[in-house]
Every structure is written in C-alpha cells, then in structure tokens.
Chains A and B, each alone.
Chain A
C-alpha cells in the first residue's frame, strides 16, 4: 500500500516527461535541429507563433532558440562559477576558521539567504540593482554606441548573474558544510600530525574528501539556476544574445534565458502552437535537469575508487 503510494512519484515523473515531450513534439518536428540554432530575434518569432492563424494546418512554429539557450548558459555558468568559489571558501571558513561567535551568526544567515523567495530577490534586483547599473555603471556614451543594436537599460547579464549567485550559494554552502564536517577527524588529525597547516589540511584533505558533495552541490545549484524563471524575468531584460567580444558592454547587455521566456508568454499558451512551443522550452529544461541528476551521479563514480563515498 505504502509502496504503491511511493511509486506514485515514478508515475508522476513518467507522465510529466511523456506529456511535456508529446506536447512539445510539433515544435521540434517543425524546426528540426535548427530549433537550437541561431537566427531571427526570438521576440518576433514568438509573436508570430502567438499570432498563428486558427487553422491548424497554418500554425506557425518557426523558432531559433539559441539566444535563449545562450542566455541560460551564460547566467547559469556565471552564477555557478561565482557561487562555487564563494560557497567553497565560506564553507571552509564556517567549518574550520570561524570563531564560535561568528559561526553562530552565519548559520542562520545561510539559511535566510536560501529562504528568501526568488520574487523578493527579483524585486530588489529590479528596483535597486538595475537602476544602479543602468544609471551609474553604464555611461551615456556606452549606451549611445550600441543604441541601434540594443538598449542598455540596466536589465543585464551582470545583475542576473549577481543575484542568481546569491540565490544558489546557500544551497552549496549547506551541502559543503555538511560534507566538510563529515570528513573523518582521523584524516584531518593525520594531516595535522605531519606538520601540515590548517589551511592546507582542510584544502587538501577536507575539500578532497568532500568532492562528491561538492559535485552534488554544483548539480543542485545548476539545476536551480537553469530553472530560475521569475527572478530572471524581472532583471535580465529582453531577448538578446550578449556577445563576449563586447568587453564590459557584454556584462551589461540584456538577455532572456529559457525559463524566463516561458513566463512572458504564459498568457498566450491557449494558442496551441505557442503552448506547444512553451512545452518545447520546458522540455529542454526538463531534459537538462534530468541529465544533471545523471551527471551528478556519474561524476561520483570514479571517486569511489579512493574510498570517498
């Protein structure tokens, strides 16, 4: 009986994957692999899909989703890289170096950062950081330089990555702190007994032994970053594919990742081709997160050889 209940989860996932993929199929079929390619601006394409004729035979499906995919890649990679650095360092700090008094403060702090809803992050971002970037960080000259290509309003990759970093850092910190705490004392003491200082000990022994957890943390955080929709919809700006060759301007260019794009067209989902296109975007996200779980699992396997879980 209980087992049957537990298996509901599996049924649910199966239904979810099947249904999302089934609904998404027309969009993928019509575009082929070009779905993932670059081409016309996404805004126009999605509008065209939305304005499809009512006749199913004349449905529009054309979409070149690369700008959105690129946006997801950029925001995710930037935030995960930054968060990995910050969380690893702060986990080491918490476990090994923080004075007890600071330790007692920092635990609730991490939990608080994890608990703040994404819409609150988005609100602070859009009302504080975006104007800051748009008015103070980006000079009028820089805006003028690119005004025929893209409007630099402050809605930007930079703000998106910045906030996303602090949204996913706590997840990683929590996992890494647990893992570093779980490193057998005998290893840490064994290292100390060889005259290795505390920094090297935690870095070479602790972090090394905690690698599976670090991988798990990165996987979870990546999943969170890829799927974050609301906050990014609020601060990242309109459809554009920021170009790393633009130097600093690259950072303040707007972008609209996959998940955020869904939010903007949710109301149009009753138009069948748009609904199917949204399902296609959701399918890409869903498959990515499935692959992430798999990758996280696979990444842990070689470590078993050395006796780390």
Chain B
C-alpha cells in the first residue's frame, strides 16, 4: 500500500525535477527505447484485438439455446443443435485431470521441499517435472494412446471385438491431461512452501509435533493459496488443451457412455476445444458461427480461471509487480 501511492504521485503530478530524459541519449539508445515502447504496445494491441474480436463474434453468434441443446450429427452443422455436451465434456475432463494432478502435485512438491532426500533423486524428480512440462501435449496424446490400449488398462475404456482395447475415454484422457496441470501445481506449491520461514516449522517441532503432523497441520493450510493458484492455472491449461482430447477422448460430438459402471467416464466424448476445432474450416463440421460461439465460451472459462488466480495471488502479495 505504501508502494503504490507515491509511485502514482510521481508519475502523474510530476516531480519538481524531470526524471532522466531520453532526449540527450545517443540515437541508438533512443531507438531502443522506442522499440521497447512499441513492443509493449504491440502486446496490448494484439491482446486487445483478440479479446474484442472474440467478444464481438461471441455476442454475435452465442445464444442461450446453443448452450443448453445437445449437438447432433448432421451434414449441415449450422442446424444441428448446440454444444451442451462439449461443455459438460470440458467440465468433466477438467475436474478429472485436476483430481489426479492436485494431490500428486502437492505430494511431489511437499516431498521436494520438505524431504528431498537423497538429493540426487530430488534433483532428478525436479528435472523430471520440467521434462513433463516441456513435453508437447501431442506427444503425451500419442503416449496415452499407446499405453491405454494395453490390456492392462482395459478397464478404463471399452474393449472392442477381438479384445482390442479402445484406449479412448474420459478416464484415459483425464489421466493423461493431468500431466499438463501437474507442473503448475508443483511449481506454485513449492514456491509457497519455500516462502514459509523456517522458524514456523521449528516452532511446530518445538511443540513436539512430528514432521508429518507439521506438514499436515501447519504447512499445508498455509500454502493453500499457492495450491489454489497452481491448480487454477493448471485447470486453465487443461480446459484449453486440444491435442489430448482429440486423441484420447475421441472428439465425438456427443458424450457416448459405455455399458457398465461409470459408463460415461469410460465412454468417449468431446470438449469445447475439440468442438471448436471440428467446426472450424480445418475440421469436418465447418460451421464457423458455432466455432466462434464455442470459442467464446471457452475463452471465457479460461480467462475466468486465470482471473481467479489473479484474485488469489493479489490477496497474497500486493507488490508483486513493483520493485
């Protein structure tokens, strides 16, 4: 709070003396400064253009009906229902992925920050998580197809005639897509854990608590905002990913449950992303109006998830962007 106000006073009212002025700089430096301004403005302009354009198209094509009617398979996609199923698909996939990624990520982060022995193993795990973060999702998708078609994982999807395991289902896609969120959860949780001063831990030990109890009772509650940040970011990534649902979910228009317990989860479906892709000129449907409408909803979801992050992190540290 004390950092913001004087900043503004200096910027707006103008100090009694001018700040260092670029007018006397060598020409090359002034050119550099101009380019820096241009680059900053370019980012703003591009972001503004995308948002405004999507807003325009979204408001133009989105209707309540599209949100609540199920898509139908039809030759003419422009009159084939809405995208209720993809919305549900995105929700299910995001929840599934998060349910898997959050506990795993928190566990990995706690182990890395609080135990981390032997240290070579910790370093290895750390780089492993970096590798996962750097692996393209299309590669994860191919890997998912390979592994979930194994008989071992037959329970995740349905088995076609001749015992061929299909390998595509919400469960399979959820398991694979959780890897996209994992690095975000680990990163944010570790950052939060590292920010806890060590005397907090020592105080807890001094009260006779065990390490496990300290972690459960003291540290985890303290890093809840960090976990929230990481999870929300990860959810945004899951909701926005296309390659894995196309490969592992089947990218069908409707949710197709299989017989048996957890039929929907073991069945195939689509998400908003696959729906947008399918209805774009690149896909088969080619109904740009619906693609726009669905993309608008998708963008809204993703931006809201990121906005949530903003709220959480703003409460945590006010001055993150001021020196």
Bound CA span A236–B43, Å: 23
Q: Is there a chain B Cβ closer than 8 Å to A105's Cβ?
A: yes
Bound CA span A251–B88, Å: 40
> Which of A16, A100, A122 has the largest count of B CB atoms less than 10 A from its CB?
A16
Q: Which stretch of A40-48, A261-269, A299-307 is in the interface?
A: A261-269
| Residues on the A chain within 8 Å of B164, using CB | 270
A279 to chain B minimum Cβ distance, whole angstroms, is 6
**Given A3-B111, A89-B39, A117-B298, A293 and B33 touching (CB < 8 A)?**
no
Q: Is there a chain B Cβ closer than 8 Å to A143's Cβ?
A: no
Binary CB contact string for chain A from 279 to 309 against chain B (1 if under 8 A, 0 otherwise):
1001001100110110000000000000000
The prevalent SS among residues of A at the interface is: helix
**Given A13-B128, A109-B47, A126-B280, A119 and B240 touching (CB < 8 A)?**
yes
Known: A9-B129, A102-B40, A111-B310. 10 other contacts (CB 8 A): A5-B111, A12-B132, A12-B179, A20-B146, A89-B36, A92-B36, A100-B8, A123-B280, A223-B135, A266-B141
Bound CA span A8–B43, Å: 39
Bound CA span A197–B53, Å: 40
Binary CB contact string for chain B from 264 to 299 against chain A (1 if under 8 A, 0 otherwise):
000000000100110011100000100110010011
Does A16 lie within 8 Å of B143, measured CB to CB? yes
A-B contacts, 20 listed (Cβ < 8 Å): A7-B125, A19-B143, A86-B42, A100-B7, A106-B43, A111-B310, A113-B50, A117-B239, A117-B241, A119-B273, A119-B277, A120-B54, A169-B43, A198-B20, A227-B136, A229-B136, A229-B137, A262-B142, A286-B139, A293-B130
Name B31-73 residues within 8 Å CB distance of A. 32-33, 35-40, 42-44, 46-48, 50-51, 53-54
Q: Is there a chain A Cβ closer than 8 Å to B134's Cβ?
A: yes
Q: Is there a chain B Cβ closer than 8 Å to A94's Cβ?
A: yes
| Residues on the B chain within 8 Å of A230, using CB | 242-243, 246, 273, 277
Does B137 lie within 8 Å of A227, measured CB to CB? yes
Name B71-95 residues within 8 Å CB distance of A. none
Q: Is there a chain B Cβ closer than 8 Å to A166's Cβ?
A: yes
B237 to chain A minimum Cβ distance, whole angstroms, is 8
Q: Is there a chain B Cβ closer than 8 Å to A97's Cβ?
A: yes
Does A293 lie within 8 Å of B292, measured CB to CB? no
A272 to chain B minimum Cβ distance, whole angstroms, is 11
Does A120 lie within 8 Å of B143, measured CB to CB? no
**Given A3-B121, A90-B43, A200-B29, A120 and B299 touching (CB < 8 A)?**
yes
**Given A113-B47, A293-B127, A263 and B243 touching (CB < 8 A)?**
yes
| Residues on the B chain within 8 Å of A127, using CB | 280-281, 288, 291-292
Does B306 lie within 8 Å of A115, measured CB to CB? yes
A274 to chain B minimum Cβ distance, whole angstroms, is 12
Q: Which of A101, A115, A235 contacts B303 (CB 8 A)?
A: A115
Bound CA span A92–B280, Å: 37
A122 to chain B minimum Cβ distance, whole angstroms, is 7
| Residues on the B chain within 8 Å of A233, using CB | 282
The prevalent SS among residues of B at the interface is: helix
For A220, give the chain B residue with the smallest CB separation. Answer: B134
Q: How many residues of B contact A (CB 8 A)?
A: 87
Q: Is there a chain A Cβ closer than 8 Å to B108's Cβ?
A: yes
**Given A90-B36, A229-B137, A106 and B243 touching (CB < 8 A)?**
no
Chain A contacts to B: CB under 8 angstroms: 2-3, 5-10, 12-13, 15-16, 19-20, 23, 85-87, 89-90, 92-94, 96-113, 115-124, 126-128, 166, 169-170, 173, 181, 185, 197-200, 203, 219-220, 223-224, 226-230, 233-235, 259, 262-263, 266, 269-270, 275, 278-279, 282, 285-286, 289-290, 292-293
Does A112 lie within 8 Å of B47, measured CB to CB? yes
Does A100 lie within 8 Å of B11, measured CB to CB? yes
Q: Is there a chain A Cβ closer than 8 Å to B115's Cβ?
A: yes
Bound CA span A208–B323, Å: 19
Name B119-174 residues within 8 Å CB distance of A. 121-122, 124-125, 127-132, 134-143, 145-147, 164
**Given A7-B121, A10-B124, A100-B7, A19 and B107 touching (CB < 8 A)?**
no
B174 to chain A minimum Cβ distance, whole angstroms, is 15
Does B139 lie within 8 Å of A282, measured CB to CB? yes
Q: Which of A87, A119, A124 contacts B298 (CB 8 A)?
A: A119
Does A6 lie within 8 Å of B112, measured CB to CB? yes
Does A2 lie within 8 Å of B121, measured CB to CB? no
Q: Is there a chain A Cβ closer than 8 Å to B312's Cβ?
A: no
Does B132 lie within 8 Å of A105, measured CB to CB? no
Does A199 lie within 8 Å of B145, measured CB to CB? no
Bound CA span A13–B291, Å: 35
| Residues on the A chain within 8 Å of B323, using CB | 181, 185
Q: Which of B32, B36, B128, B277 contacts A9 (CB 8 A)?
A: B128
Bound CA span A194–B38, Å: 28
